[in-house]
Every structure is written in C-alpha cells, then in structure tokens.
C-alpha cells in the first residue's frame, strides 16, 4: 500500500501556480490510472486505486491536502496513520525551486531545504519519506521566491510541463515497485528537460 500526496494550495486562484504542480501531478495520476472519484477525507481530498507493475498491482491512495501548503503534513500524517503506512511507503510530489524548470529528481529523507510543506510533513511523519521533486526554477533573488511560486506557469512552460506530467504517470510503476532511481531516469527519458530556460524563451516571444 502506497500513499501518494501532492503539495498545493486550495482554491481556484492557486490552481495553475508553480506551488501547485504537486497537485497537478496527483490529478494526472488519478486520471491516467483510473482511480476512484475524489472524496473528502484525511483533511484533504483522497481517492484510491492500483498501479500495475511488473510484479503485480500495487494498491495506492492519492491525497491532496486541503489545508494550505505550509500545513500539508497534517493531512499526510493522518492518512499515513490510518493506513499504517511507513514513511518509505509515502511519496510526496512537490515543486522544487532548486531544480531548473523541467528537471525531476527523486530523493528519500533529508531536510526541508526551506520548503514549508516538506517541513510540515517531516513534523508529521519524520524525514524518511520519498520526495518527487519537480523543478520550477529559482527567480534569482530570495525576496522573489514567494511571488515566483505563487504565480501561474507561463504558457511557454507547457512545452516541458505537459510532457513531464504525462511521464510522471507513465513511469509510475517503477516508483510503485520501489525503484526510485529507475523512476527518475524514465521520467527524464520520456520528458527531457528543455535546453533553454522557458522564461527566457517567453521573453524572446514578447
């Protein structure tokens, strides 16, 4: 049994922002793998289904915490305790400013690196959960980080974002089987990161 959670903020105003790319990934997984309808549970929205792997189907619950981003750990912790899932069975999908747009990295354990949603999750279940880090780039100035992550993706970002979300879904059996290294490699193979910065490309189009 796995718990796959996405970090994000509730409400239409945040739906298309960089901070909500974790939710975007979870929504894409629910569609791709035909999970059950969403229902209110665990201080969030949850749905259930299975992921077919080479070793057989793996049951999973998807979770979108409905508290704000910085309080995501409350919902993750409640769901993990209910299902008696260890941190090794929890994968949190989230935006990562320390990765360039279009990069994807899997990581287990470690600190929060300034991400308050990850900090909240560490407080709830400890640090040893798995993180699916989706690069959204750094604005270049610490003071600009908050407006950067709370702003919507530029249309030029769709060049890498849509293929990445699809790859995250298609390669998911590797993560479900516990092979995070292969999962990371397959996502990047299916959705290579752009060679140019999408933000620069967008400026060039203006």
Question: What is the set of active-site residues?
Answer: 19
Residue 50 burial (CB count, 10 A): 15
Kindly write down the DSSP assignment for every residue of 35-68, as one continuous string: PPPPEEETTEEEEEEEEEETTEEEEEEEEEE-S-
Distance, in Å, from the CA atom of 67 to the CA atom of 172, rounded to the nearest integer, reads 26
| Edge-to-edge strand list for the sheet holding 39-41 | 39-41, 44-53, 56-65, 2-6, 90-96, 130-135, 104-108
Q: What is the largest CA-CA distance in the chain?
A: 51
Residues 48, 112, 23: CA angle, nearest 5 degrees? 30
């Amino acid at each position: 049994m796995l718990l796959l959670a996405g970090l994000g903020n509730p409400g239409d105003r945040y739906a298309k922002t960089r901070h909500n790319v974790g939710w975007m990934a979870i929504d894409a997984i629910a569609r791709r793998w035909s999970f059950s309808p969403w229902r209110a549970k665990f201080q969030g929205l949850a749905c259930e289904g299975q992921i077919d792997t080479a070793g057989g189907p793996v049951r999973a619950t998807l979770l979108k915490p409905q508290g704000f981003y910085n309080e995501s750990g409350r919902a993750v912790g409640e769901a993990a305790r209910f299902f008696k899932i260890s941190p090794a069975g929890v994968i949190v999908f989230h935006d990562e400013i320390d990765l360039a747009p279009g990069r994807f990295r899997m990581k287990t354990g470690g600190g929060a690196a300034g991400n308050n949603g990850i900090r909240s999750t560490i407080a709830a279940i400890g640090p040893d959960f798995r993180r699916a880090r989706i690069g959204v780039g750094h604005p270049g100035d610490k003071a600009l980080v908050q407006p950067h992550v709370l702003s919507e993706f530029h249309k030029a970002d769709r060049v890498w974002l849509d293929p990445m979300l699809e790859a995250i879904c298609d390669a998911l059996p590797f993560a479900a089987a516990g092979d995070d290294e292969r999962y990371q490699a397959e996502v990047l193979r299916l959705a290579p990161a752009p060679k140019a910065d999408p933000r620069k490309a967008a400026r060039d189009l203006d």
